Structure 1
Amino acid sequence: MTESPDPTPFPLDHLVERACENGMGERPALVLRDKVLNHKALRERVATLAGWLAREVPEKGARIASWAAKGELTCLLPLAAARAGLVHVPINPLLKRAQVAHILADSGAGMLIATPSRLKSLEAGDVPNACLALDEGSALAKADEAELKIGPSEADANELCAILYTSGSTGRPKGVMLSHANLWLGAVSVAHYLKLASDDVTLAVLPLSFDYGQNQLLSTWYAGGSVVPLDFLFPRDVSKACAKHGVTTLAAVPPLWVQLTEIDWAEEASTPLRRLTNSGGALTTDLVEDLRGTFPQADLYPMYGLTEAFRSTYLEPELVDIHPTSMGTAIPFAEILVINDAGEVAGSGEEGELVHCGPLVAHGYWQDEARMAERFKLAPMASSYGGTAVWSGDRVKRDENRLLYFVGRRDAMIKSAGNRISPQEIEEAAVAAGLVAEAVALGIPDDRLGHAVHLVVRGSGDDQEQANLPKALLKELPNFMQPQVIHWRKKMPLNPNGKIDRTALYRELSQGAAQ
């Protein structure tokens, strides 16, 4: 990568052209179960699928939805739809029919390509009348038969390219509108600060409907590297794939990292890894130590992001041991401001809201002006970009070294007996006690306190260890932060993106408290 990444955005499908133009055409690009596509073959497959799509759905800007496991179709569609002048709507394969029906109707999808079993799960009325539903095998076969290859698109980089729906853990899923420029510059930015190269191999374990997951493809291909998509059942499947393919780059969310550090890694699986990247939740100090112990040679990149602005910050690997809980600083093309309650730029150590400005900011929510107005607002006066910014709702602080630290979400802060409590602080103390692997602190409605602190933990069923946790918390936390109730679990509920489903836990505990 160059010293400063190129800020010029291109149509997204030009990613496959870039690798070939730079002489990387013969290098592997996509490693599938039954075949390997080099970058030239990837370019040809994108051209073929795009040509067929353009014939079947000739309306520019029409939405094309995919609902399938990782494979050739789901990896090609982001680029092929972009080349055909269409808008890709990837649907998480873990979602159920009611959620899929909502996404199809809300997006106005003109085509749905899915696996046969998923299509069979849909009921009458789930697929809009104007939406053509095809199984993925038929779609790929029809594209090959049509032989209608089209070349690189000439789309305006600001045109809509994709709609990524949030998981819907809170209320109705929102469709985040992303342009060619959003996705192109996101790929350039990540490839640059991760120092990706043409000999890198990325194991894509995250859902491709997740912005973090989709970027695994785009940033790797921008750098001319190779992607190995993997749908796994067990953590050991990940380590086996790393050994088989010589994986150099692995991205995950905290719950998965916890599972991966709880298994034994063969030397041939861990040694090739050059970098580990984390987003979707903060790493704890203990988890950082576990990752260091399991993958001592790999650079660790903690990152913070939100779908509405893709990615906002990352922490340089050399700073992780010194500042293990920091969010780091802005990624390339992102301007990050901390705005206090007076609407001014917060001073060092002063809490404020993280506001993301610049070209990575999405184009808003699809057909949802009300919720769009809550999150997408004019940038603060201090912004060098101006225009629209994403007001994250996340509370952060910046220290004297300009490093950012997460405090908590404005709507997640627990207000108990007049005290404002950060769930993260309680969770970190619980994990640091060494008695639990994961912890979630929630404020549950309480007649006396307003909200009572409930702590859900995954850990041992040993009675003595369970008795020791409250004692450990008493030593580390003030009285007003002590959990009123500790709930021990063998496993945590996860949402479709692999993150702990805090909303499901809140709903369960709130209902229990009301009974």
Structure 2
Amino acid sequence: MPYSSDVTGKSAEITALPLDHLALRGGDEAPALVLRSGVLSWQDLRTRVARLAGWLKNRLGEAAFGGEHGPRVASWAAKGELTCLLPLAAARAGCIHVPINPLLKRAQVAHILADSGAVLLIATPSRLTTLEPGDLPDGCATLEEAGALALSETAPPLAPSQADPHALTAILYTSGSTGRPKGVMLSHANLWLGAESVATYLGLQADDRALAVMPLSFDYGQNQLLSHWYVGGSAAPLDYLTPRDVVKAVERHGITTLGCVPPLWVQLTEAEWPPETAAKLRRLTNTGGALTVDLVRRMRTLFPDARLFAMYGLTEAFRSTYLDPSLIDTHPTSMGKAIPHAEILVVNDAGGIAADDEEGELVHTGPLVAQGYWRDPQRTAERYRPAPQGSIYGGMAVWSGDRVRRDADGLLYFVGRRDAMIKSSGNRISPQEVEDAALATGLVAEAVALGLPDARLGQAVHLVVRAVPGAEDAEGLLPKKLAADLPNFMQPKVIHWKETMPIGPNGKLDRTGLFEEIRAGLEAQA
């Protein structure tokens, strides 16, 4: 079933199929998924997706499919057969997949389950045991990962779906600068065309194999699988502990595509790479933060035969730009140009298309734009607004809040971020979520979370707090309580204790003043 957009121009050439049709792309005996337990061929992949989809359909029952959207099925597990196949199986069954970052802890998971209205959570036993009474929404059942896979082995297979490509098939939760994570609604077409777009500009072939090191709850983490499956290629999911694990996996599995966030690239360039192992990589991709000039040079020296793709994106529109590898040496700080199926505009403060080298807001239009935030019309209206005049695609656009400029050659450069969201080690962290966790301990009266530049993390979380008067051993207890309540990537690198918190002219806590004070202190120590 083709995807037909309601806009004119180049979008008329775009087609998409139901997401589960990705299971039909490769040759029967060719490898599709490389797991610890063995290699799944494309025929194995087709069989297991069909049976997992059939089991889901029967397990949930017809009544679960009677609403406006399909039933939400959440997964909370490390990378493995279930987490890799569930996006396709859920799509075939008519469910909406809600992948949960395995690094999250019970408080964040409880919010996602309640907000999405999940009816089923499939997770590893160790994660399920951390949930407390009240963490599951009414009507949400739980099942261990191994049990779900075992039950699906004998389930009647479900035929490929004929779903409307516009239909909702996944909700990915992402953090903003304020509040708890919000669910980005993705259609079959969003994910299908995202896979096609990335496969196209990366030049993927059927003999390519990705090492999937990024979490599958991230848009690009999931796309590592989908883009390679689009061309009939394969992927090897890896939950690594050390950079050496990545090096060994590249050698063992014959990896040709490696995508990472900048902090991991820093670690990998410090690792020992046998020349014959480094030579296996055909392409390197970066997302989740900008590459520095020094890091680009190190990567180009270590992997001289690999093509290096610098990329920029946001979950609300999947991916926006990439830099042609032929330009990485001469323009290492550029975001590049629009990816296939995307139109990227720079809109100045007057609402018009910015001139060359004029700063403006990055606005993304086209069929990769998601359907908004799940059950959150207010925040949807803030971020998703009509495309500006001059857009080829028209329709609804994502107004990113990021400030960029475009040079005379059409190359984009990042200027700054309008919101205060912290990006650490490729993770998007809501300052308010960290602050709420600190206040919930009862040890502090005020809290401000900031992202400070960090050579290895991109940004490190610094937490500025004022203790509750009379609180005993607040400085000793707060780090322990935060360690129990927040995932590792949200933990403050430094906690700064204040007798009084500075107030700005608007009567609010002076975040800018605190940021400048801490940054100056860090620079003085350097």
> Number of paired residues?
436
- Tell me the residue number matched to 1:268: 276
Does residue 52 (structure 1) correspond to residue 60 (structure 2)? The answer is: no
Displacement of 1:279: 0.8
Once residues 458 and 139 of structure 1 are traced to their aligned partners in structure 2, the CA distance between those partners, rounded to angstroms, is 42
Displacement of 1:106: 0.4
Once residues 148 and 451 of structure 2 are traced to their aligned partners in structure 1, the CA distance between those partners, rounded to angstroms, is 49
Q: Is the CA contact 2:105–2:487 (under 8 Å) kept in the aligned structure 1?
A: no
Once residues 122 and 452 of structure 2 are traced to their aligned partners in structure 1, the CA distance between those partners, rounded to angstroms, is 42
Q: Is the CA contact 2:284–2:309 (under 8 Å) kept in the aligned structure 1?
A: yes
TM-score normalised per structure 1: 0.80
Q: Is the CA contact 2:76–2:121 (under 8 Å) kept in the aligned structure 1?
A: yes
- Tell me the residue number matched to 1:419: none
Once residues 47 and 193 of structure 1 are traced to their aligned partners in structure 2, the CA distance between those partners, rounded to angstroms, is 30
Q: Tell me the alpha carbon deviations over residues 127-176 of structure 1, each in whole angstroms, 9 at most, x when there is no partner.
A: 1230110001000111113x210111000000001000014674200100
Matched-pair identity in %: 64
- Tell me the residue number matched to 1:468: none
- Tell me the residue number matched to 1:64: 73
Change (3 A) 1:334 1:71: same
Does residue 113 (structure 1) correspond to residue 100 (structure 2)? The answer is: no
Q: Tell me the alpha carbon deviations over residues 173-212 of structure 1, each in whole angstroms, 9 at most, x when there is no partner.
A: 0100000000000000000000000000100000000001
More moved, 259-268 vs 157-166: 259-268
Change (3 A) 1:345 1:458: closer
Q: Tell me the alpha carbon deviations over residues 37-73 of structure 1, each in whole angstroms, 9 at most, x when there is no partner.
A: 1111101100000000011123231100000000000
Match 1:345 to one of 318, 328, 353: 353
Does residue 385 (structure 1) correspond to residue 388 (structure 2)? The answer is: no
Does residue 128 (structure 1) correspond to residue 131 (structure 2)? The answer is: no
Change (3 A) 1:368 1:512: farther
Q: Name the SS for the 1:232 alignment partner.
A: coil
Does residue 159 (structure 1) correspond to residue 146 (structure 2)? The answer is: no
Q: Tell me the alpha carbon deviations over residues 240-293 of structure 1, each in whole angstroms, 9 at most, x when there is no partner.
A: 100101100000001111111111111232111000000111101001001011
Q: Is the CA contact 1:336–1:354 (under 8 Å) kept in the aligned structure 2?
A: yes
Gaps of 5+ in 2: 1-9, 424-430, 432-447, 457-482, 503-526
Displacement of 1:454: 9.4
Counterpart residue type for residue 29 of structure 2: E
Q: Is the CA contact 2:208–2:234 (under 8 Å) kept in the aligned structure 1?
A: yes
- Tell me the residue number matched to 1:16: 23
Q: Name the SS for the 1:345 alignment partner.
A: coil
Q: Is the CA contact 2:177–2:420 (under 8 Å) kept in the aligned structure 1?
A: no
Gaps of 5+ in 1: 414-422, 425-441, 443-450, 460-492
Cα RMSD between the aligned structures? Answer: 2.7
Q: How does 1:206-225 map to 2 (within 5 A)?
A: 206-225=214-233
Q: Is the CA contact 1:11–1:82 (under 8 Å) kept in the aligned structure 2?
A: yes
Once residues 28 and 303 of structure 1 are traced to their aligned partners in structure 2, the CA distance between those partners, rounded to angstroms, is 28
Match 1:36 to one of 34, 39, 52: 39
Q: Name the SS for the 1:121 alignment partner.
A: coil
Q: Is the CA contact 1:210–1:497 (under 8 Å) kept in the aligned structure 2?
A: no
Does residue 198 (structure 1) correspond to residue 185 (structure 2)? The answer is: no
- Tell me the residue number matched to 1:180: 188
Once residues 379 and 119 of structure 1 are traced to their aligned partners in structure 2, the CA distance between those partners, rounded to angstroms, is 43
Change (3 A) 1:110 1:376: same
Displacement of 1:25: 2.1
Change (3 A) 1:292 1:66: same
- Tell me the residue number matched to 1:277: 285
Once residues 376 and 195 of structure 1 are traced to their aligned partners in structure 2, the CA distance between those partners, rounded to angstroms, is 31
- Tell me the residue number matched to 1:102: 111
- Tell me the residue number matched to 1:474: none
Change (3 A) 1:360 1:504: farther
Counterpart residue type for residue 76 of structure 1: L
Counterpart residue type for residue 136 of structure 1: E
Q: Is the CA contact 1:206–1:497 (under 8 Å) kept in the aligned structure 2?
A: no
Q: Name the SS for the 2:121 alignment partner.
A: strand
- Tell me the residue number matched to 1:26: 29
TM-score normalised per structure 2: 0.79
Displacement of 1:508: 4.1
Once residues 63 and 37 of structure 1 are traced to their aligned partners in structure 2, the CA distance between those partners, rounded to angstroms, is 27
Q: Tell me the alpha carbon deviations over residues 210-253 of structure 1, each in whole angstroms, 9 at most, x when there is no partner.
A: 00100000000001111000001111100010010110000000
Does residue 336 (structure 1) correspond to residue 339 (structure 2)? The answer is: no
- Tell me the residue number matched to 2:335: 327
Q: How does 1:407-426 map to 2 (within 5 A)?
A: 407-412=415-420
Once residues 356 and 262 of structure 1 are traced to their aligned partners in structure 2, the CA distance between those partners, rounded to angstroms, is 36
